[in-house]
Structure 1
């Protein structure tokens, strides 16, 4: 009912674009994702507002879940990790041209998350017992966060001038 599968197209079950973000396969997975949502979400909401944060979450959930479904050819996946990577991408782009550390996120965190993404694609994360990883959802999240940040900056700059 909540997974992303072919019936989503056939029966117009549009909620399946987002609901995989609410499915977690372990308590540790859920706790880790909730922690990142709290840490990163608070920073984005503080500087950019609840509407930007909410829009980023919805956009990235749809984008990352779609990428995972189409590139991995499986419907059994879940988690907020794609959204987490979108928050990372969004913050990273916004801090690149910021002279004062807008979100005050250590640069090492961005590097760690990108290395973790690469390790996931190489199979090393799964090899060390962290379970199956929705690598394309992670990649889709990072890409969608970067796209959202660029569009947000273009819109905000044009709107504020």
Structure 2
């Protein structure tokens, strides 16, 4: 078990680009997929809108059996700033968890949280609702951190726990202030990550 204690922030990145890829291969792969899919939606050599047509979360199509749309929206984004912000968030919050949990468990938490968020969106939002973005999965990481703070107090320092709680509260507030936000995905991604953190705490 890796214990992250001490007076330094676990969210401070000091690795070189090559070291980052070597230490955090799952986080690096997720960001690479974000960038690749974004480029496929803007470069004129591809049928750009095809990717949104087939990978976006569209509740009506999910109801008709296109269940891959519960997964693919996690990696799609609606524009450069959307992709950049979510990718930056994963680079900021993901590495510490990947080191704590290992690549396989980290990927499971990330994808499971995103899927929980998208299932909740499918159940609670109208059939016409369409969405993309990894925010539900990112909030799942927040939820997992909160579960660690509550149920595994020895794994994070007080300073790092305070940082996580503060950022989580600020992110939740912004969820209700910013326009065009999938509030359902944010809330249920957070709850899903917390639930997984409780179940997998041993």
TM-score scaled by length of structure 1: 0.79
Match among 66, 69, 72 for residue 119 of structure 2: 66
Structure 1 segment 143-158 matched on structure 2, within 5 A: 143-153=191-201, 156=202
Residue 13 of structure 1, CA deviation = 2.2
Structure 1 segment 66-145 matched on structure 2, within 5 A: 66-73=119-126, 74-96=128-150, 97-99=152-154, 101=156, 105=160, 107-121=162-176, 124-126=177-179, 132-145=180-193
CA deviations 1:36-86 (Å, max 9, x no partner) are 212222111101111111111121111001112322224311111111110
SS state at 1:41 partner: helix
SS state at 1:42 partner: helix
Unaligned runs of 5+ in 1: 127-131, 157-161
Unaligned runs of 5+ in 2: 1-53
For these two proteins, the number of residue pairs brought into alignment is 146
The 8 Å contact of residues 136 and 186 in structure 2, kept in 1 or not, is answered as yes
Bigger Rg, which one = 2
SS state at 2:160 partner: coil
In structure 2, C-alpha distance between the alignment counterparts of 1:91 and 1:109, rounded to whole Å: 7
In structure 2, C-alpha distance between the alignment counterparts of 1:6 and 1:103, rounded to whole Å: 45
Please provide the CA RMSD for this pair. Answer: 2.2
Q: Measured at CA, do residues 9 and 87 of structure 1 come closer, stay the same or move farther in structure 2, by a change above 3 Å?
A: same
The 8 Å contact of residues 17 and 65 in structure 1, kept in 2 or not, is answered as yes
For structure 1, which segment, 132-141 or 87-96, has the greater mean C-alpha deviation from structure 2 after superposition?
87-96
Question: Post-superposition, which runs of at least 4 consecutive aligned residues in structure 1 deviate over 3 A?
Answer: 102-106
For structure 1, which segment, 51-60 or 1-10, has the greater mean C-alpha deviation from structure 2 after superposition?
1-10
The 8 Å contact of residues 44 and 103 in structure 1, kept in 2 or not, is answered as no
Structure 1 segment 29-68 matched on structure 2, within 5 A: 29-68=82-121
TM-score scaled by length of structure 2: 0.65
